[in-house]
Structure 1
Amino acid sequence: MNKTSIAVAVLAAYSIAAQVAHADHDDNEIITVIGNPLQHISNARVSSSSNTEADFGDQLSNIAGISVSRNGPVTGLIQYRGLFGDRVGVSVDGVDIQGAGPNAMDSPLSHVLPELGMQATLYRGIAPVSAGIQSLGGQLVMQSDMTMLFSQPNGLQLSGNAALISPGEGAQYQVNAFYGFDDGFVTGAFTHQQRDEREAADGTLIPNTNYQRNGVKLGGGFTTGKHSVEVRYQQLDTNESGTAALAMDIKFIDAAWYRLGYRYQQSDNQYLTVNWFGNSNQHTMDNISQRMLMMASMARQNDTDSLMQGGDITYVTPLMDGELTAGLAHKHLGNNSIISNPNNAMFFVNNFMDVEQDTYSGFVEWQGTVGQAAVTMGSRLTQISSNADDVNSSMVMMSDAVSMLVNAFNSTDRNQSDTMVDIAITAQFELSERNSVFAGVSQKNRAPNYFERYTWLPLAISGGMADGFTYIGDVNLTHETAHQVELGFTYTTEHWTFSPRLFYQDVNDYIAGTPTTNAAAIMVAGMMGASTPFQWTNTDATLKGFDAQLSGVITENVNLNAVASYVHGTRNDIDDALFRITPFTLVSHINWRTRMGSIPLTLQATSELVASQDHVSALQNESKSAGYGLVHLSADWELGHQWTFTAQIRNLFDKNYVPHTAGINRVSGVSVPVGEKLPGTGTEWKLSASYQF
């Protein structure tokens, strides 16, 4: 780690803490506790007034174990304890988002549109089976609290937010409306975001960091007696946005989702919920709109679409000294992808054709007390079946190798099925009024996704891993099975809470890329100027590490929140590291609540320390990275009950750095050489004004 940068970051955070610790105080006490060790969840507020990233991924830094790997400004992939992509479950307002792009350009984070009371909630460590299907890498829920929405006062609430971000001439506008009445509410939100290219600390333009998006979210709820109904709809349209770490950029993404929910409250602790939901995406990407092209024959456009529909039913009832939860769910997913050359109408690749996946799942879970322990135990049975139609390409007539790949795929039995059993048991033992011990064990599973099974032509499709290699699939892949053990404790005093966790996870049949022996695929890759392609293969992997949360009060008006995370990931089939694993990270927030005259003022100083990473994947040519330290500042002024002004500065000391999880540049003719990691941003500022009607 760069000792100078870390020292500066630590000293800056310490000096600010020392100054605020000796400042005058008023009678208000603000205590912010990030994480709830007793319920094994961590929370972070999601707001349009405080974000600096277009997809709000920066607001997850308060949650231990989470990081965001970026391939573009609206293409952030959540990584939790070394697992990312489909291994981490993410739901937005109760909908499991399924993107259209096989490289996760439209990742779940890109579908977030904040509204009143929206929070990100992570089931820390071993997620209960009730939290979601295929939650091998945890479950993150981003939604507003419905109880809070139903309890809002009657009448109209309007709020607006406008923000300017520089450099890059960024702008963000959002309007929220809420109307409450005796038996329910209606709500709406509109957002617009845009920005040009961002800059590194040395003035280098970071290529293809532009974006432009517009979105609207509508919803409402109604309750009568023991019955309540809720409906949600969101449309989020992304226009030209860059993804320099991938082979193409976003031309557009038109994404919509909906959810209709019903709840029957039989008694205070007995209820039934039913949900019906769906998600539709139209997504076009290309390599000509936003980057230089060497030859017209190399132009490519990929038109993709996805459609997801599903429903679930859950029943909760008292049982013994706790409650029993049982549920059933079904989800149908369809994907298509056709690659063309805008300069050659004859060229085509039917990449994914009518790919379908059906998920059927049911679970039973009990949560209650056994002696002195709070216990959660449950089991989930899931069956996932998938299929795909025949493929084809205009290159068949010109290449025997492509013809062989097409014929081999079309003659293969593509109807596959995986049956998986998840088990999760966690217990918290109260040792004293202030101390407790946590322990958990689990078995979690994940079925191969459609591109891991059905990629038949060597293409740079890696689910967002973005390592620069081409991949082909394996129809006969089996599902991953992870066995995890977790241990931790929680120590509390009158003003402080400290909660560290150790974890060890062994993943059998871990799906990773291995150099293929398929002669036809090797020949096609050579024709395209690529190295030997990888093939998705069942291997084994181990992930181990720890994370910790610390929160408490320094003085009456000053509080500290800190999260630390470390993970070590290795492949067991070969002596190699897992790719793109976040190094040790310590993020500390110091908040000071004071007044400037009669005006309430909140100041925050953030220290972000990231260690070097030398445990890297040799197989995937991953480079080592240096550590760094950053300092960020923000201030909120509250003028009356209506106006709030926010000023933020990111990377206060204009540190030049490269995040280890940054993508590798694939855009030629720009200031960052092709094949080098994309640098982090230099000093950036954001000014935001919010008005509450």
Structure 2
Amino acid sequence: MRLNSLSALLVSMYAISNYAWAEADPVYEVIEVRGHVYKQDKVTEQAVTSPNYAIPTSDLADLLTSLPGANVNANGPISKIAQYRGLYGDRIATQVDGLTLAGAGPNSMDAPMSYASVLMTESIEMIRGIAPVSSGVDTLGGSLKVNTVNPDVGDQWAHVLGQFTDNGEQSQLGAITNLSWGEQAVLLHYEQAKGNDAVEDGAGRKIVPGEYDKQQFGAKYLIELTPEHKIMLSYGAVNTGNSASPALPMDIDFIDTDRYKVSGNSEFGWGEMNWHIGWQNARHGMSNSLLRPVKSPMMARYNRADSTGVDASVAFELEQWEFGLDFQQSVHDSLITNPNNPMMKVDNFKEVESQTLSAFAQWSETYGDHSWQLGTRVKQYHNDAGKVSHSMAMMNPNIKALMDKFNQADRSQSQTGVDLVAQWLYAQNDEINWRASLARKQSSPSYQQRYLWIPMQATGGLADGHTYIGNVDLKLETAYQLEFGVDLSSGPLNLAPRVFWQKIDNYVQGVTATDPKVKMVAKMMGDSQPLMFANTDAKLYGFDVEAQYRFNDNWQLAMISSYTRGKRTDIKDNLYRLAPLSGSVSLNYQHQNWRSQLIWRGAAKQDKVSNIQNEKATAGYGIMNVLAAYETDQWLIKAGVTNVFDKEYQNHLAGYNRVMGSDIAVGERLPGYGRQVWASLLYSF
């Protein structure tokens, strides 16, 4: 296989948004970000309009900022959490290569998208708006899928990638090849991403630590038993070395993860069946003294976390109907020690188990100009945890009391959730489509929110600087969602605005802890305002819009804008870590083998911040990026500059610096990167 058209080539690595309805069901939108090895002869006009693919990335999550409504909570160069319309983390159903598997880290240093390879990614799919029940199990915050390249039967090809960015001495190297014989094929891949130095902001200050080191490799084997029946075996490994996460209390020592998957696709006279079984084993070490200074050797901490996960599903498509069963299970352990004091041991999480069994049914039909979709998913959640221990329990009565309370509690919890979704599309004419969606969604709290028994900052990547304690008796979150939108296509103009609203009962977030024992233990750790995870009430509303205008065959203007407002409704406060009004405008030029792009990205000030989490406001900003690219049948050469004018700014979704001795003060929001000059080369044969 060789790289195809110029459009397909440049729809690579740095996000081209291709807006299209799913073939099987036109009621909901699937937005796609195409990857390097995009195997299609041509792309649509919308696929040449990206406002964001001129940004070099150490993590695929960065590409989400090219999608309306999507964003990223960045805690480190490879520790980035997806956000969609104000919801993030476990509230977004995220699949990588068809698997929903929990990472090892209790602070999401290995968030789901960190398991995706830049070179191996064929596309990133996000359901725009309310996700249908068929798209995932817990879709309260939407559905996100990273589709990887699969083996090609009857084809031989290979790609080699190299990239370098000056600011931080960041590099990427990778290779992927497909070998085929008869009705079988094997795909092999390897990729390495490194940052060797501290990145500088627009004022020349070094963001320390800034290094990262990650390798990914694997293989896929495909056999076509018959033209209607296929089976694939997959293995993928991620090995991360010393890597910084300055917004968190620890940095990464290592993350070693193995993923296995067996999947199949069968076509019958009555329809289609897809199934898979996946398993993961993840080992994770993190330290507060590896890449940053610590005040005293007795304050050094090391956290060893391990997890295993199972993900299995079977789905059937029968004309207007889809049915499916899903099973997910994960087990987590996390032990905190002091490398300078072998007596110090804390069970942060011990034998924590999360299990979900669910079934869905979805019906779709078109009557004239109206298309409908109705779906329901029933979910049975089961959560449990083992007994914990603390080496200081005998010396500290407050710690012992919290430990005994947790160990004596009924930690086994079983809950039932129900999702209901209705979606409608009206094709008024060839230029105007109207859309409306209504849903009731439920999701289970994370294992950190439920089983964090002693005040700690192992909060799934919140990175607000507070210590938290969990709550075994948390209820399911229940959201009531509404969305309305229109698609306008008239000559050279395409416009797709959306407005949305949702009310979330039993929204889980931190509230002021009232237990004096919790306060005393937290004070020992330097936090006089500990929080406890609790069920509250919230609402989110806003809009996002995507637009393109084509001047002629060579020039095009594109725009994306998003805004989400999030409030607590049980008290007067704002939700934490929500992006302000933000967006981008790009001017795109293409002629024969050449392409260039000028991109402005900006955000308004954000002063609607969480008081209970002491969130700081941020000022608005705007930065400029440029890109040039040239393509032949075998080569793709790209070069660009991000933050051309070396502007000093702060992204509101960046965390707060936790590292002493840095140019950035402790507690100051981490700044955006200064000017970055980069170049990449992709060779295909």
> TM over 0.5, yes or no?
yes
Matched, 1:686 2:670: no
Return closer, same or farther for 1:419/1:28 CA change in 2, 3 Å cut-off: closer
Corresponding position of 1:218: 219
- Tell me the distance in 2 between the aligned counterparts of 1:562 and 1:686: 24
- Tell me the distance in 2 between the aligned counterparts of 1:225 and 1:644: 34
Q: Which AA in structure 1 matches 2:162? A: A
Matched, 1:45 2:11: no
Report 1:223-238 matches (<5 A): 223=224, 224-238=226-240
Return closer, same or farther for 1:145/1:547 CA change in 2, 3 Å cut-off: farther
2:602 is aligned, of 609, 620, 641, to 609
- Tell me the distance in 1 between the aligned counterparts of 2:149 and 2:240: 27
Q: Which AA in structure 2 matches 1:255? A: T
Q: Which AA in structure 2 matches 1:388? A: A
CA shift at 1:50, angstroms?
A: 6.6
Return closer, same or farther for 1:119/1:577 CA change in 2, 3 Å cut-off: same
SS, match of residue 660 in structure 1:
coil
CA shift at 1:532, angstroms?
A: 2.5
1:111 is aligned, of 115, 129, 139, to 115
Q: 1:387 touches 1:415 (CA, 8 Å); kept in 2?
A: yes
SS, match of residue 453 in structure 1:
helix
- Tell me the distance in 2 between the aligned counterparts of 1:452 and 1:136: 17
Q: 1:33 touches 1:561 (CA, 8 Å); kept in 2?
A: no
Q: 1:33 touches 1:552 (CA, 8 Å); kept in 2?
A: no
Structure 1 unaligned regions, length at least 5: 1-25
Q: More displaced, 111-120 or 566-575?
A: 111-120
Corresponding position of 1:572: 569
Return closer, same or farther for 1:442/1:451 CA change in 2, 3 Å cut-off: same
Q: 1:34 touches 1:551 (CA, 8 Å); kept in 2?
A: no
Q: 1:72 touches 1:208 (CA, 8 Å); kept in 2?
A: no
- Tell me the distance in 2 between the aligned counterparts of 1:29 and 1:409: 55
Q: 1:369 touches 1:375 (CA, 8 Å); kept in 2?
A: yes
Matched, 1:171 2:171: yes
Q: Which AA in structure 1 matches 2:647? A: K
Q: More displaced, 26-35 or 126-135?
A: 26-35
Corresponding position of 1:243: 245
SS, match of residue 397 in structure 1:
coil
Q: 1:123 touches 1:139 (CA, 8 Å); kept in 2?
A: yes
Q: Which AA in structure 1 matches 2:189? A: A
Matched, 1:438 2:438: no
SS, match of residue 35 in structure 1:
strand
- Tell me the distance in 1 between the aligned counterparts of 2:399 and 2:525: 12
Return closer, same or farther for 1:187/1:561 CA change in 2, 3 Å cut-off: farther
SS, match of residue 520 in structure 1:
helix
CA shift at 1:592, angstroms?
A: 1.4
CA shift at 1:27, angstroms?
A: 13
Cα deviations across residues 572-595 of structure 1 (Å, max 9, x unaligned)?
121000011001111223321124
Q: 1:270 touches 1:317 (CA, 8 Å); kept in 2?
A: yes
Report 1:285-304 matches (<5 A): 285-304=286-305
Q: 2:510 touches 2:531 (CA, 8 Å); kept in 1?
A: yes
1:264 is aligned, of 263, 266, 282, to 266
Corresponding position of 2:660: 668
1:132 is aligned, of 133, 136, 139, to 136
SS, match of residue 665 in structure 1:
coil
Return closer, same or farther for 1:100/1:337 CA change in 2, 3 Å cut-off: same
Identity of aligned residues (%): 33
1:90 is aligned, of 74, 86, 94, to 94
CA shift at 1:666, angstroms?
A: 0.7
Corresponding position of 2:327: 330
- Tell me the distance in 2 between the aligned counterparts of 1:117 and 1:215: 12
- Tell me the distance in 2 between the aligned counterparts of 1:176 and 1:675: 42
SS, match of residue 536 in structure 2:
strand
1:343 is aligned, of 332, 340, 345, to 340
CA shift at 1:391, angstroms?
A: 0.3
SS, match of residue 134 in structure 2:
helix
Matched, 1:77 2:120: no
Return closer, same or farther for 1:155/1:552 CA change in 2, 3 Å cut-off: same
1:618 is aligned, of 605, 608, 611, to 611
- Tell me the distance in 2 between the aligned counterparts of 1:231 and 1:114: 21
Cα deviations across residues 458-514 of structure 1 (Å, max 9, x unaligned)?
001221111100000010001101110000111112333211110001000000100
SS, match of residue 66 in structure 2:
coil
- Tell me the distance in 1 between the aligned counterparts of 2:247 and 2:66: 26
Q: More displaced, 112-121 or 134-143?
A: 112-121
Corresponding position of 1:547: 544
SS, match of residue 460 in structure 2:
coil
Corresponding position of 1:22: none
1:420 is aligned, of 409, 417, 422, to 417
Report 1:558-569 matches (<5 A): 558-569=555-566
SS, match of residue 392 in structure 2:
helix
- Tell me the distance in 1 between the aligned counterparts of 2:668 and 2:17: 39
Q: Which AA in structure 1 matches 2:608? A: H
Q: 1:30 touches 1:557 (CA, 8 Å); kept in 2?
A: no
Report 1:456-495 matches (<5 A): 456-495=453-492
1:651 is aligned, of 643, 653, 671, to 643
Q: 1:353 touches 1:389 (CA, 8 Å); kept in 2?
A: yes
Structure 2 unaligned regions, length at least 5: 1-5, 38-52
CA shift at 1:238, angstroms?
A: 0.6
- Tell me the distance in 2 between the aligned counterparts of 1:403 and 1:62: 49
Cα deviations across residues 89-117 of structure 1 (Å, max 9, x unaligned)?
11111011311111111101211113466
CA shift at 1:184, angstroms?
A: 4.2
Corresponding position of 2:256: 254
SS, match of residue 179 in structure 1:
strand
Q: 1:245 touches 1:466 (CA, 8 Å); kept in 2?
A: yes
Cα deviations across residues 257-302 of structure 1 (Å, max 9, x unaligned)?
22211111004x7111111012221001010110111111101000
CA shift at 1:552, angstroms?
A: 4.0
- Tell me the distance in 1 between the aligned counterparts of 2:478 and 2:149: 33
Q: 1:632 touches 1:652 (CA, 8 Å); kept in 2?
A: yes
CA shift at 1:186, angstroms?
A: 1.7
CA shift at 1:560, angstroms?
A: 3.1
Q: TM-score, normalised by structure 1?
A: 0.91
Q: Which AA in structure 2 matches 1:55? A: D
Return closer, same or farther for 1:99/1:117 CA change in 2, 3 Å cut-off: closer
Q: Which AA in structure 2 matches 1:311? A: A
Cα deviations across residues 399-438 of structure 1 (Å, max 9, x unaligned)?
0000001100000000001100001111100111211110
- Tell me the distance in 1 between the aligned counterparts of 2:126 and 2:499: 17
Corresponding position of 1:511: 508
CA shift at 1:181, angstroms?
A: 4.5
- Tell me the distance in 2 between the aligned counterparts of 1:586 and 1:27: 23
Cα deviations across residues 532-584 of structure 1 (Å, max 9, x unaligned)?
31000000110000011113422112233321110000011210000110011
- Tell me the distance in 2 between the aligned counterparts of 1:476 and 1:272: 38
Supply the RMSD in Å over aligned alpha carbons.
2.0
CA shift at 1:529, angstroms?
A: 2.0
Aligned length: 654
CA shift at 1:182, angstroms?
A: 5.0
Q: 2:17 touches 2:31 (CA, 8 Å); kept in 1?
A: no
Corresponding position of 2:208: 207
Q: TM-score, normalised by structure 2?
A: 0.93
Cα deviations across residues 35-64 of structure 1 (Å, max 9, x unaligned)?
226541111123499762211222222210
- Tell me the distance in 1 between the aligned counterparts of 2:345 and 2:121: 47
Q: Which AA in structure 2 matches 1:208? A: P
SS, match of residue 114 in structure 2:
helix
SS, match of residue 249 in structure 2:
coil
Q: More displaced, 641-650 or 410-419?
A: 641-650
Corresponding position of 2:400: 403
Q: Which AA in structure 1 matches 2:20? A: N
Q: Which AA in structure 1 matches 2:170? A: G
- Tell me the distance in 2 between the aligned counterparts of 1:29 and 1:621: 45
Q: Which AA in structure 1 matches 2:99? A: V
SS, match of residue 396 in structure 1:
coil
